[in-house]
Structure 1
Amino acid sequence: MTPTIQIPITTITFPEIALRVRDAHKLRGYFGTLFREHSPLLHNHFEEGSDGAGPQYRYAYPLVQYKVLRKVPTLVGLGEGAGLLVELFLKMRELRLDGVTYPVLSKHIRHEQATIGLSDDLHTYRYETLWLGLNQKNYKAYHQADAAAKATILKNTAVANLLTFVEAFGLKLDKNQPEQRVLLKLTPTEPVTTKFKNVEFLGFGGSFTTNVLLPDDVGLGKQAARGFGTVRKLA
C-alpha cells in the first residue's frame, strides 16, 4: 500500500486585481508585514533568535505562499498555514504595493482537503512559474557538466524537492523500500536567467511525470514562498 496523507489547503485569489508574475514577492512583503504579529508562517522568519541576534529565518518548507498565477494575486496556505489564511481572510481589505493601493472589491476562498504522498499511478505536472532548479552547491557543477550530467543534476534536485514537500507534512518515505521510491521523469525547458533581489538564478519551465500526488498551485524548490516553482496537474 502506497503511503498517503491528507492535508488542509486554502487558496485565496483576488480576481479583480491584475499583477505581473514578478510581483509575487511584493505580496509576501505586504501580507507578511500586515499580519506580522499573527504567525512567523506569514513571513518565514521568527522575530528574534534565542541569542538576541535579531530575526532568524525559518528554513522549513513554506506553509504560506504568495503567487501571481494567470495575472491573479494568489495566496496558498497548507497545513497550519491553511487555517491561518482562513482566519485572516475577512481582514484582507486592500493590497498596497509599491505605493499603489488596490482596493479589494472581491476575493475568493477555497478550503479543502488534499491527498499527498505516493500513488500507484503516474501523474504529470507543469511548472506554471519558473522553477529554480539549482542551488549554490550544484550551480557550478551544472555549468561544467555535459548534457547527461546536467539532466541528472536537475532530476536529483526535482526529486529532493518532492521529498521536502511530503516530509514537511510528516510523511517519511523509505527509499530502500521499492514501493516507497519516488519515480520522476523531468522534461525541462532550456534555462532562462532571472534576477531576484539583484542575484541571478537559472530558471526552468517544462513538466515532469511522477508517482507523487501534489495539490495544484503548490510551489517546489527554492523561493517557493515567493511563487517560484508552482505546479499544476495536466489533465
Structure 2
Amino acid sequence: MILHTFTLTLGSTRPIHGSAHQLRGFFATKFNEYTELHQHNADKFIYRYPVVQYKMIGNVPTVIGINEGAEVLKQIFDEYQEIRLGENTYQIVERGISVRDEEFGISDKIRSYEFVTPWLALNQDNYRKFYTLKNDAERDEFVWKILIGNLISMAKSLGYDVPAQIKCDAQVRFRKDRLKDVSVMTFSGTFQANFLIPDYLGLGKSVSRGFGAVRQITGNTEGGRICSSSSTRGAPT
C-alpha cells in the first residue's frame, strides 16, 4: 500500500521550546474548521488513527499529514507567520516541506525501528496487568502482543488489510511519564517487524500528541518471533 505524506518542519529566529501537545493545540485552534487537525466533530471525538500528527523531533516542530491529512496541510502550511506554544510566541522564518509517496505494510524483509518519542502502549487496565506479571519474559511477551495489536490497528484504520503473518520482536524499557498531569507508563527502545512504516509515524496511544513516533534504523535484521495477524484479534492495546 502507498501512503501519501506531507511533512512540515518549522524554524524560528530563536530555539523553540514546547511540546507536541502545544503544537497540536495551536493548529487545532487556528484552523478549527479542519477535523483532520484535531479529531473532533463538534463536541464528539473521532476514534481513528490520526491522519495529522504533531511531533517535537530534536526541538524542531514537526507536523505529518497522511493521505487526506496531507491534503489539508498543503492548504494551510503557510497561512501563519508565528506560532504560540504555551506562553511563548515564535516568529516562523523557515518551513521545511517533504511530500512523498511511501510504502506501508507487510515487507519481505525484517525492518528495524527505534522509538524517537516515548511509546504510550498501555491503557489503564493493561497498566495494572503489566505490574502483576511475574518476570521479564512474561512482560516481554505482553508488550510484544501490544505492539502487534498497534500495527494491526494502524493498518486497519488506514484501510490496509494485513495479508500475511507479522514477525515482530522488541527490546524496550519502561519508565514513568506524565500525560495531562496523569501518571502513565511509556516505553523506549527498538523493535523489529516485517512491516514497512514511514519515518515518524506513531504507534500506540496519543500519537497525534507526539507519542510513539518511530524511525527505521539503517540495515535489516533476521529472525523475529511470529504472530499471525488473525491470532492477534483482541490483543492488548
TM-score (norm 2): 0.88
Aligned counterparts, 1:4-43, within 5 A: 5-16=1-12, 18-20=15-17, 23-37=19-33, 39-43=34-38
2:70 is the alignment partner of 1:74: no
Q: Report the counterpart of residue 52 of structure 1 in structure 2.
A: none
Higher strand share: 2
Q: Which string of whole-angstrom CA distances, capped at 9 and with x for unpartnered residues, describes residues 83-132 of structure 1?
A: 11111112132101223211111111111101101010010000001001
Task: Could you tell me which runs of 5 or more consecutive residues in structure 1 were left unpaired when the two chains were aligned.
Answer: 48-54, 175-179
In the TM superposition, what is the alpha-carbon distance from 1:152 to its structure 2 partner? 1.4
Measured in 2, the distance between the counterparts of 1:101 and 1:78 equals: 27
CA distance in 2, matches of 1:23, 1:120: 36
Tell me, yes or no, if the aligned pair for 1:18 and 1:73 is still in contact at 8 Å. Answer: no
Amino acid at match of 1:182: I
What is the distance in 2 between the residues matched to 1:18 and 1:218?
24
CA deviation string 1:26-84 (max 9, x = no partner) = 000111010001x211011111xxxxxxx111110011011100110000111110111
8 Å CA contact retained: 2:204, 2:212: yes
CA distance, structure 2, for counterparts of residue 93 and residue 15 of structure 1:
11
Percent sequence identity over aligned pairs: 33
Please say if residues 65 and 227 of structure 1, whose CA atoms lie closer than 8 Å, have aligned partners that are also in contact: yes
| 2:141 maps to amino acid | T
Count of aligned residue pairs for this structure pair: 216
1:187 is aligned to 171
Cα distance in 1 for partners of 2:54, 2:138 equals 33
Q: Which amino acid aligns with 1:161?
A: N
Asked if the contact 1:7–1:114 (Cα under 8 Å) also holds between the matched residues in 2, the reply is yes
Normalising by structure 1, what TM-score?
0.88
TM superposition outliers: structure 1 runs of 4+ over 6 Å: none
Q: Retained in 2: the 8 A contact 1:116–1:214? A: yes
Letter in 1 for 2:145: N
Q: Secondary structure at the match of 1:11?
A: strand
Residue pairs, 1:1-235, within 5 angstroms: 5-16=1-12, 18-20=15-17, 23-37=19-33, 39-47=34-42, 55-146=43-134, 147-174=136-163, 180-189=164-173, 191-235=174-218
Which residue number in structure 1 is paired with residue 221 of structure 2? none
* Structure 2 segments unaligned to the other structure (5+ residues): 219-237
Whether the aligned pair in 2 keeps the contact of 1:79 and 1:169 (CA below 8 Å) is no
Instruction: Give the conservation status (yes or no) of the 8 Å contact 2:11–2:93.
Output: no
Q: Which amino acid aligns with 2:200?
A: D
- Matches of 1:168 and 1:93 in 2, distance apart? 33
Contact 2:168 2:192 (8 Å CA) reproduced: yes
Q: Verify the 8 A CA contact 2:53 2:208 in the aligned structure 1.
A: yes
Deviates more, 1:205-214 or 1:83-92: 83-92
Q: How many Å separate the matches in 1 of 2:39 and 2:67?
A: 15
Structure 2 CA distance, aligned partners of 1:118 and 1:63?
A: 20
For 1:171 and 1:60, how far apart are their aligned partners in 2?
A: 14
